[in-house]
């Protein structure tokens, strides 16, 4: 499962596609990971920084509310998003489900 929600926290399994023409959510990868394209290259942590910036803008979250749990150097990553309320986390989860067609 690409997304789990516990109260006001979303945990996302992500497959990053660096060096894309534009950054954005591309759907699901193998049905188990959220596929996110990033315009940043995968060097010197630039893709990780771009991912955090993208998610911050996408979900309207502070960057400090986003934590890279696993995948510091790989394309497969686990990200934790901490929302101020469980309602906001629920809304964010629904937004992703609409994009992914679930």
Q: What is the pLDDT of residues 1-28, one digit of tens each?
A: 799 999 999 999 999 999 999 999 999 9
- Which pLDDT score is estimated for 31? 86
Q: Where are the domains of the chain?
A: 3-85
Categorise residue 87: left if φ over 0, alpha if ψ from -120 to 50, beta otherwise.
Answer: alpha
Handedness of CA 12, 65, 25, 43 (dihedral sign): negative
Which helix (DSSP H) or strand (DSSP E) does residue 48 occupy? helix 46-59
User: What is the number of other CB atoms lying within 10 angstroms of the CB of residue 3?
Assistant: 18
Per the document, the length of the chain is 102
**pTM for the full predicted model:** 0.93
pLDDT tens, residue by residue, 31-54: 899 999 999 998 888 999 999 999
Which helix (DSSP H) or strand (DSSP E) does residue 93 occupy? helix 86-100
Please tell me the class of the 3-85 domain.
alpha beta
């Amino acid at each position: 499962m690409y997304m789990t929600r516990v109260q006001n926290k979303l945990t996302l399994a992500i497959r990053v596609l660096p060096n894309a023409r534009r950054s954005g959510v591309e759907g699901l990868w193998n049905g188990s990971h959220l596929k996110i394209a990033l315009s940043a290259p995968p060097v010197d942590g630039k893709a990780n920084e771009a991912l955090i910036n993208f998610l911050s803008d996408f979900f309207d979250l502070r960057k400090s509310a986003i934590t890279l749990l696993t995948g510091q150097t790989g394309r497969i990553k686990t990200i934790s998003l901490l929302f101020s309320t469980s309602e906001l986390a629920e809304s964010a989860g629904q937004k992703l489900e609409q994009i992914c067609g679930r």
